[in-house]
Amino acid sequence: MPFAPALRSEWLKIRTLRSLLGSLSAVLLATAAFSALVATDSGGAEFDPLYSTFFGVNFGQIAAIAFGTTAMSAEFRGGALRLSLAAVPDRTRWFAAKAAAVAAPALAVGLLTGLAGLAVGRAVLGSDGPGWGEGLRAAVACAVYLTLMALLAAGLTAVLRSGVATLSILIPFLLIVSFVVGDLSGGVADLLPDRAGQIALHRTWDGTLGPWTGLAVTALWTSAALAAGAWSVRRRDA
């Protein structure tokens, strides 16, 4: 099967699974809600209006990870992967179609989330809110970051072949380990996928990474996860 029909097939799977649509909706709702809560309680000398506007991404990314994980883990239940590979025998092509089917809606929802977060932040913060220029830059970065995290989860799920195992690793890492390592290791923590990607959501930043180089580091983590996932799909039995 050529790539385009394979992509349509994978997109149909995503569109018809309510849990996946729920995860995408949660990305938007969680990000906007928590950003609004943080923005109402912001202030002080270290106040960063841009990061306050997009702080909800810390919670929205959990939903993005759940989306990528669920989309991939569905293939490893009930022999679904065997049926998928019967239709698309080229495993690399199938995996590329699956990744693209995860990336496209994640990017679209991520962009909508970024714009919604910007609108909420400006409404709550008023004159203290971010300007449109830096806000739109952060909104685009938000979309790219959420997409990369969804793909990172999908790649890791293809390696582990278990959604539960993937979420058990990624969610504690993002909510606990990353913060602990960040407090103890200084600049080394900037190379972690979440901390590097979120540099673009700050008005100012320290260290060697900037907004786009930070996203590039996250993209390297994601590329490694996808490469490992593709290798696992090619080498292991369905």
Burial of 226 (0-12, 13-18, 19+ CB in 10 A): buried
> What pLDDT is recorded for position 238?
59
Taking the C-alpha atoms of residue 39 and residue 10, their distance in angstroms, rounded to an integer, is 38
Q: What's the pLDDT score for residue 177? A: 73
**How does DSSP classify residue 177?**
I
pLDDT of residue 53: 87
Q: Which two tokens stand for residue 169?
A: 């690793």
pLDDT reported for residue 218: 96
Q: What is the pTM of this model?
A: 0.92
- pLDDT digit string (tens) for the chain, length 238 residues: 678 888 998 999 888 888 898 999 999 999 988 888 877 766 555 678 888 889 899 999 999 999 999 999 999 888 888 888 888 888 999 999 999 999 999 999 999 999 998 888 888 877 777 788 888 999 999 999 999 999 999 999 999 999 999 999 999 988 887 767 665 555 677 788 998 999 999 888 777 888 899 999 999 999 999 999 999 998 877 5
- φ, ψ at 234 (rounded to 5°): -70, -35
Q: Could you give the CA distance from residue 120 to residue 37 in angstroms, rounded to a whole number? A: 10
Chain-centre distance of CA 33, in angstroms? Answer: 18
Task: Give phi and psi for 56, each to the nearest 5.
Answer: -60, -15
**Spans of all domains in the chain:** 3-231
Integer Cα distance of 144 and 153 in angstroms: 14
